[in-house]
Structure 1
Amino acid sequence: DELAAMVAWAEPAPDNVRFGTQMQWDYVFSTIVDDHTVHYAGVLVAPEGNDSLAIRNTLRWTAVGQMACAVPQVTDLGLAPTVAPVRVAVVTGKEVDARTQRPTVAEAVEFYATRTQQACDEGAKLIALPEVCLDWHVAGTLMEKALAVPGPATDRFADLARQYGATIVVGLHERVDREVFNTAAVIDADGSIAGTYHKVHLASFEAFSGVVPGDGFPVFDTAVGRIGCNICMDSSATESSRMVGLNGADFLVLPIMGDHRASVWRRGNPKLDEERWRSIMRVRAMDNQFCMVVARNNCTASCIIDRSGEFLAYNDGTADFVIADVPLGANFRKWNGGCFRQVNWRQRRPHIYGAFMERNPAARARLTDS
């Protein structure tokens, strides 16, 4: 933690600790070998036309001490590969249709599959559907209406995935033996199930409904990149998106009914506050450096946000789906020349956070008051 290495794509003065705004620079990430050795390595993309670099090793945050550095090895790897953008769609149906009850799973599958195919016809390669959308208004107990994954309901989307070479994330209640989960099923471009995410943070009354919570935040390798999921209330716990980001996701797919932070702050029927909603989703994308793909059950405010926090698509309630091209290879840099993604992760000091990882941290006592 006390050691850091940076590459400046120029030749700053040895005593210059600030590079100003004209110089591009990058962190070099470290691996701790043992108690006395840290190894730095990385593949960096030089600015166009650059012909020099300076590597700066620093011993910091201590008044005394010393370090010894080996001579660094720098290898020219040639031209950096280009990363094609991914066309992403969020399929919900128009608000007037999204709110219409579909009393059978078959009707729900038909509703969403038809619109998913339309998005695929427009070139979408990653499609996200809303929370538990395949059994949302279906009558019956959770145990009665929960679905198998894979199973007949997901097979329709698997067929579309194979036909179009698309990755499709479907929300449903999933039955696994005697347990029911709130699930996001990730169907890859070959029609296989890349993985299932089980909602970890259940909403207030959902937590007493018999639904079983998940126990982790997996990220799945797919044809379009690495995909992680949160579902609805997960978004209210900052750690949910942070874990997906730390697991190296390119996309966070968020099927969501709504957000209690982005609603009226008084008793009564919820009412979407779009300004709050936009702020919440934008910050999640920036803080964790992935693309947010947000599928809201009632359509309005479903959106696609890039790593810089820009809204690439936003549904005002009048579209069956929204679609956007997401630049995965974009190198977003801050005003001072640093790579935002590197700064975002390199500034963390996780060993300081350990006190709050206990089941009953002392600080929790103050949270018991209303």
Structure 2
Amino acid sequence: MRIPSCAFVLVSFLTVSLVQAEECSTALWKPYSPRDEIRPEFQIDKQGGLDGQPGYVIVHDQRDALDGAWKCELPIEGGQYYQLSVAANLSEVSEPRRGVYAEVWFTNEKDQVVKYESGDQSRPYYAAAAEPDEAGWTRFTGTFPAPKSATKGVVKLQLRWSPESRVVWSDVSLQKADPPKARKVRLAAINYRPRNSKSSLESLAQCEPHLAEASDQKADLAVLGEVLTAVGRPDSFEEVAEPIPGPTTNRLGELAAKYDMYLVTSIYEKSEYKIFNTAVLVGPDGKLVGKYRKVCLARDEYRKGVAPGDSFPVFDTPLGKIGMMICFDVHMPEVARGLAANGAEIIAMPIMGGDPNLAKARCIENQVYLVTASYSINDDWMQSGVWDLSGTLRTRATAEDTVVIAEVDLAQPYLWRANMGQFRPRLRHERPGNILPP
């Protein structure tokens, strides 16, 4: 949102409540900019923050490359976890996604960036943004480990690359916190292709022994293959297409409840005159959690008249935030990035086949866990398995008609190379804005 130029004139008259930051010699907060040429205007509004607290203001004029932050150094105890919490009013910021973020560095008394016991160099941590409240305040929070040799936490509250904008930071704290609780999830990939089935329900019946096996291994989420109710049948895709919810999702719900797990597969969905290749997520309560319509269709699909989807929904479950994509979607980086940008921690992908290197790439670039359920066991084709944040295939099916399971911890931080730190929180701020070609 751009603010009118008159707002900047108004700011200059608020001398009673606004104090130029440079004049606050006793304040802990200090203005920072990497270069004087791109230095924005800094102000302290004594009562302009959240609930009448002080507000730390950064103002950008019409130039599009200004960059600056409020910076504060706070004493910390090394080897402990700390929670950063800060509110920002973004209602007058033109580029909030890329332009506004809160970070913390851990340093020693010599202002040197320190290393963890593993030898990895400490890198800045980025707080995650919640949805704004009715007054326009967005809360940024995150809990991070300080290396044992650290003595200071350096907090930076940033506004960059946002012409004609004004952000107000307020209610800042960096407090000792308990380590994040483990969030262990058991993910199952099922390699099974129905054979000689005469109906969708018969196809599901053929899969049930594998669901029972996954349940015996305490799976929390199990993923089956693509268009499960169409493979192994002579019927056309038009004949097997059905509404969602419908007979197949109802039966999937019964199976999910029976085996106490979340289930994902894809089926052909009929909606009015359209047919979609749709992934469904059903929960252990037997209810349909949500669906995703395949966005990037394979050539054979759109030539038959299958319609593409147009969104990247993510579903917040007790396990974590789950997204879905289907087969050819993995060839296009926008799908996984769209799901990750919407918060997905786990992506379930029913797939006929594809290059396994693409699964690895999608995990690395988006820092997500990926569960792939295919009908192949070839090394050079997409396997049924579980991929982690490093792109490593944790487990894979090496024989047909098998179930493989990997346990992952969604709370475990992953340092993507020593010089990158935790990459996932950076996705919001680093991915390009509206400059990509159409």
TM bucket, shorter chain: 0.7 to 0.9
- Deviation of 1:231 after TM superposition, in Å, equals 0.8
Q: For the Cα contact (< 8 Å) 2:107–2:114, is it kept in 1?
A: no
Which of 302, 324, 329 is equivalent to 2:406?
A: 324
Q: For the Cα contact (< 8 Å) 1:22–1:337, is it kept in 2?
A: no
* SS of aligned partner of 1:254: strand
CA–CA distance in structure 2, aligned partners of residues 190 and 59 of structure 1: 43
Residues 142/24 of structure 1: CA separation in 2 closer, same or farther (3 Å cut): closer
The answer as to 2:250 corresponding to 1:155 is yes
Percent identity between the aligned chains? 27
The within-5 A match list for 1:203-242 is 203-242=298-337
Give 1 or 2 for the bigger CA radius of gyration: 2
Residues 29/152 of structure 1: CA separation in 2 closer, same or farther (3 Å cut): closer
Q: For the Cα contact (< 8 Å) 1:147–1:173, is it kept in 2?
A: yes
Unaligned runs of 5+ in 2: 1-64, 70-101
* SS of aligned partner of 2:154: strand
Q: For the Cα contact (< 8 Å) 2:386–2:396, is it kept in 1?
A: yes
Residues 148/118 of structure 1: CA separation in 2 closer, same or farther (3 Å cut): farther
- Deviation of 1:40 after TM superposition, in Å, equals 8.0
* SS of aligned partner of 2:407: strand
Which of 44, 50, 66 is equivalent to 2:143?
A: 44
Which of 196, 213, 223 is equivalent to 1:118?
A: 213
Instruction: Indicate the structure whose relative CO is greater, using CA pairs within 8 Å and at least 6 residues apart.
Output: 1
Q: For the Cα contact (< 8 Å) 1:117–1:160, is it kept in 2?
A: no
CA–CA distance in structure 1, aligned partners of residues 273 and 240 of structure 2: 13
CA–CA distance in structure 2, aligned partners of residues 173 and 195 of structure 1: 15
What amino acid does structure 1 have at the position aligned with 2:394? L
* TM-score in terms of structure 2 length: 0.66
CA–CA distance in structure 2, aligned partners of residues 250 and 55 of structure 1: 28
Q: For the Cα contact (< 8 Å) 2:262–2:284, is it kept in 1?
A: yes
* TM-score in terms of structure 1 length: 0.77
- Deviation of 1:39 after TM superposition, in Å, equals 7.8
Unaligned runs of 5+ in 1: 263-276, 359-370
Match of residue 392 from structure 2: 310
CA–CA distance in structure 1, aligned partners of residues 309 and 296 of structure 2: 8
Q: For the Cα contact (< 8 Å) 2:280–2:290, is it kept in 1?
A: yes
- Deviation of 1:76 after TM superposition, in Å, equals 2.4
Residues 103/163 of structure 1: CA separation in 2 closer, same or farther (3 Å cut): closer
Residues 58/109 of structure 1: CA separation in 2 closer, same or farther (3 Å cut): closer
Match of residue 183 from structure 2: 84
CA–CA distance in structure 1, aligned partners of residues 223 and 156 of structure 2: 44
The answer as to 2:229 corresponding to 1:134 is yes
CA–CA distance in structure 2, aligned partners of residues 58 and 221 of structure 1: 28
* SS of aligned partner of 2:340: helix
- Deviation of 1:240 after TM superposition, in Å, equals 0.8
Match of residue 104 from structure 2: 7
For 1:9-35, what per-residue CA distance to the aligned partner results, in whole angstroms no more than 9, with x for missing partners? 233655x6x76754353134679x9xx
Which of 284, 287, 310 is equivalent to 2:365?
A: 287
RMSD: 3.3
Residues 116/214 of structure 1: CA separation in 2 closer, same or farther (3 Å cut): same
The answer as to 2:183 corresponding to 1:183 is no
Higher mean alpha-carbon deviation, 304-313 vs 75-84, is at 75-84
What amino acid does structure 1 have at the position aligned with 2:238? M
Match of residue 430 from structure 2: 347
- Deviation of 1:75 after TM superposition, in Å, equals 4.3
The within-5 A match list for 1:332-343 is 332-333=414-415, 334-336=417-419, 338-343=421-426
CA–CA distance in structure 1, aligned partners of residues 186 and 366 of structure 2: 21
For 1:120-168, what per-residue CA distance to the aligned partner results, in whole angstroms no more than 9, with x for missing partners? 1211110101110112232333332212323332333211222333110
* SS of aligned partner of 1:45: strand
* SS of aligned partner of 1:205: helix
Higher mean alpha-carbon deviation, 73-82 vs 289-298, is at 73-82
CA–CA distance in structure 2, aligned partners of residues 235 and 305 of structure 1: 13
CA–CA distance in structure 1, aligned partners of residues 418 and 313 of structure 2: 33
CA–CA distance in structure 1, aligned partners of residues 350 and 225 of structure 2: 4
What amino acid does structure 2 have at the position aligned with 1:104? S
Match of residue 25 from structure 2: none
Residues 59/46 of structure 1: CA separation in 2 closer, same or farther (3 Å cut): closer
For 1:316-350, what per-residue CA distance to the aligned partner results, in whole angstroms no more than 9, with x for missing partners? 234511111011111011314722323444432x3
What amino acid does structure 1 have at the position aligned with 2:410? L
- Deviation of 1:221 after TM superposition, in Å, equals 1.9
Between Structure 1 and Structure 2, the one with more strand by share is 2
For 1:87-117, what per-residue CA distance to the aligned partner results, in whole angstroms no more than 9, with x for missing partners? 1111123xxxx38443432331111122112
CA–CA distance in structure 2, aligned partners of residues 318 and 83 of structure 1: 33
CA–CA distance in structure 2, aligned partners of residues 75 and 237 of structure 1: 39
